Every structure is written in C-alpha cells, then in structure tokens.
C-alpha cells in the first residue's frame, strides 16, 4: 500500500507476447494501469486473459516484451519475488489451501512480509512471538473485512463457495499488495452474490487504496466498476478505453459482445 509513485502507471506491459510451441496465447499486448484504478481485461473464452495474468505474476516466462511495476521491470523474476514487490492474485477456479484453516490460509498470505526463520521459531524469540501475534491480528482483521468473522478455525474446504472466494481475496490482501489481480471473482455466483462482490471490489479500492486488475465475464460487473477496459480476442488487444467507449466499439460487439448483447437486449425487451 505504498503511496510513493515512481512512474505514471502502477503496471505497464510493453508488447508482451507469450507463445506455447506454435500457439500464440498472448500477442503483442500493451496496457497501462493507472494508480488506484479498477482495470478490467475482458474477452471470450480462450482469449488469453488468464495466461496474461500468469505472465504478470511470473508463473509463465514471457516470450517477448516487458512488464513494469512502478516503473521497474519484473520480467523474469520468480513468482515469490513478484509477490514481495506487491502483486498478488486470486484464481479463476478457487485454489485455497484446502486443509488449512481460514486463519492459516490468510496467515500464509502474509508470509512474504514476515521474517521469522528456523532458529527464531525454535527458540521462540520475542521478535518471533511479536511477529506471529501481529500476523494473527492482521489475519483476523482481514477475515472480518471480507466478512468471515467467526469462521477463523474452519477448514477452507468446508466453507461455502462464496466464502471461499472471499477467503481467497483475504489471503491475497494479506501480502499487502499494491496491485491485486482478480481472476473472475464472480464466476459461479448468483446475481445477489455477484452484486455483493462488485461492491466489495469497489470497496477494496476506496478503503485500502489498492489498484485492481480484473478478469471478468459478467458484463454488468465490468461496466459498473471498471475505470478502464481492455478487450482481448485470440490473445490480441482489439479495443481499450473507458467502459462507454468499449461498449460502443463495433469490433468489440462483433467479436465478443455481439450475440451476447443482442440476446440480452431481447431478454430485457421481453
């Protein structure tokens, strides 16, 4: 949650390309994410959105191009270093540590900000104890923030779906990120849960001052909360801009919104 700004954008990708063998999953993609914005990446299935996320978090090595966080290149860094630099993420198909408690999950999230080592743990030094207590406190606060107060000792696997989503966000927040990558946070949710999640994401920025990079399928969510949108198709950027511009862009309607928007309109009319 650092306030100092070294660059114009918190995240900038410059001509990023990712290739798997002959398949180009992300092609020459450049985006600029301003500080404290909510930035959405949308596109049909298989458009390369998640691959793009995996490139940013260092899980994949980009084939070409550069990625700047706060003006500093993070290409080629290991995922655990990138987390330390301030990017953290959630997954499209929830990937919690299923058999750890909710509290432990969030405390693991704080791992990169902790220092206790082997010896500290064994000797139970005051510094370790202090750090452990602080982490526990932070984790409790985060659980409360995402509305999971009272579920601290529950195993992640036993939580209902919506709560697992929020627990995953709490875990991501525990690493004190500047930039939060959310991969389809409303997938599989009903309309009221979706609305709740939308408000929640909006709150993240308002209350914690975090920039959010979002992959989302639900057009209503995207159009409501995004400041900027980039549309991908077959790994390529086909449009970008403010929600209203994107909505009006004929290429987007053709490639992506086309049928969906039409049916939606029809449904509304009926």
At a CB cut-off of 8 Å and minimum separation 6, what does 204 contact?
A: 169, 173, 180, 210, 212
Q: CA angle at residue 187 from 183 to 189, to 5 degrees? A: 140
| DSSP-based three-state secondary structure for 141 | helix
- Binding window for another protein (CB under 8 A); candidates: 3-11, 85-93, 197-205, 224-232: 85-93
What the block records as the tokens of 118 is 């082997």
Q: Which of 4, 122, 266, 269 binds another protein (CB under 8 A)?
A: 122
Q: Which of 77, 167, 210, 213 binds another protein (CB under 8 A)?
A: 77
Q: Which of 7, 14, 100, 208 binds another protein (CB under 8 A)?
A: 100
At a CB cut-off of 8 Å and minimum separation 6, what does 248 contact?
A: none
For the chain, helix (H) and strand (E) counts, in that order, are 11, 10
Asked if 152 is part of the footprint of another protein (rule: CB under 8 A), the reply reads no
For the bound state, the minimum distance from the C-beta of residue 199 to another protein, rounded and expressed in Å, comes to 21
At which residue do the structure tokens 């966000």 appear? 169
Task: Specify the residue, 93 or 268, whose C-beta has the smaller distance to another protein.
Answer: 93
For the bound state, the minimum distance from the C-beta of residue 83 to another protein, rounded and expressed in Å, comes to 4
For the bound state, the minimum distance from the C-beta of residue 144 to another protein, rounded and expressed in Å, comes to 20
Q: How many other C-beta atoms are found inside a 10 Å radius of the C-beta of residue 4? A: 5
Q: How far apart are CA 28 and CA 31, in angstroms?
A: 10
- Binding window for another protein (CB under 8 A); candidates: 118-126, 193-201, 245-253, 256-264: 118-126
Sign of the C-alpha dihedral, residues 94, 100, 104, 109? Answer: negative
Site string for another protein, 35-54 (x = CB under 8 A): ----------xx-x-xx---
* Residues β-bridged to residue 211: 179
For the bound state, the minimum distance from the C-beta of residue 196 to another protein, rounded and expressed in Å, comes to 17
Q: How many other C-beta atoms are found inside a 10 Å radius of the C-beta of residue 75? A: 18
For the bound state, the minimum distance from the C-beta of residue 270 to another protein, rounded and expressed in Å, comes to 27
Task: Specify the residue, 35 or 91, whose C-beta has the smaller distance to another protein.
Answer: 91
The Cα-based distances of 18 to 41, 55, 66, 91, 204 in angstroms read 16, 8, 11, 19, 30
159-198 residues near another protein, rule: CB under 8 A? 161, 171, 175, 184, 187-188
Give the strand pairing for 87-89 and 179-183.
parallel
Q: How many residues bind another protein (CB under 8 A)?
A: 56
**Residues that bind another protein in the complex, under the rule CB under 8 A:** 20, 23, 25, 45-46, 48, 50-51, 57, 59, 76-80, 83-84, 88-89, 91-101, 104, 107-109, 111-112, 114, 116-118, 120-122, 124, 128, 131-132, 135, 155, 157, 161, 171, 175, 184, 187-188
């Amino acid at each position: 949650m650092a306030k100092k700004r070294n660059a114009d954008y918190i995240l900038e990708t410059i001509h990023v390309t990712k290739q798997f063998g002959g398949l180009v999953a992300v092609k020459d993609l450049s985006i600029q994410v301003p500080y404290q914005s909510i930035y959405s990446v949308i596109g049909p299935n298989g458009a390369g959105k998640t691959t793009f996320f995996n490139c940013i978090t260092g899980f994949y090595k980009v084939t070409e191009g550069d990625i700047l966080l706060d003006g500093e290149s993070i290409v080629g860094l290991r995922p655990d270093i990138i987390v330390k630099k301030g990017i953290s993420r959630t997954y499209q198909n929830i990937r919690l540590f299923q058999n750890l408690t909710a509290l432990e999950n969030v405390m693991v999230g704080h791992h990169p900000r902790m220092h206790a080592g082997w010896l500290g743990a064994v000797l139970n030094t005051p510094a370790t104890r202090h750090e452990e207590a602080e982490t526990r406190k932070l984790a409790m606060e985060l659980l409360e923030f995402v509305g999971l107060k009272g579920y601290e000792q529950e195993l992640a696997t036993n939580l209902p779906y919506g709560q697992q989503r929020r627990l995953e966000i709490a875990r991501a927040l525990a690493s004190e990120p500047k930039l939060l990558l959310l991969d389809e946070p409303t997938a599989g949710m009903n309309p009221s849960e979706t609305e709740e999640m939308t408000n929640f994401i909006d709150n993240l920025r308002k209350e914690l001052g975090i920039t959010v990079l979002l992959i989302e399928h639900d057009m209503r969510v995207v159009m409501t909360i995004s400041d900027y949108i980039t549309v991908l198709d077959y790994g390529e950027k086909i449009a970008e801009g403010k929600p209203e511009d994107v909505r009006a862009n004929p290429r987007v309607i053709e490639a992506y919104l086309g049928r969906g928007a039409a049916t939606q309109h029809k449904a509304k009319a009926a």
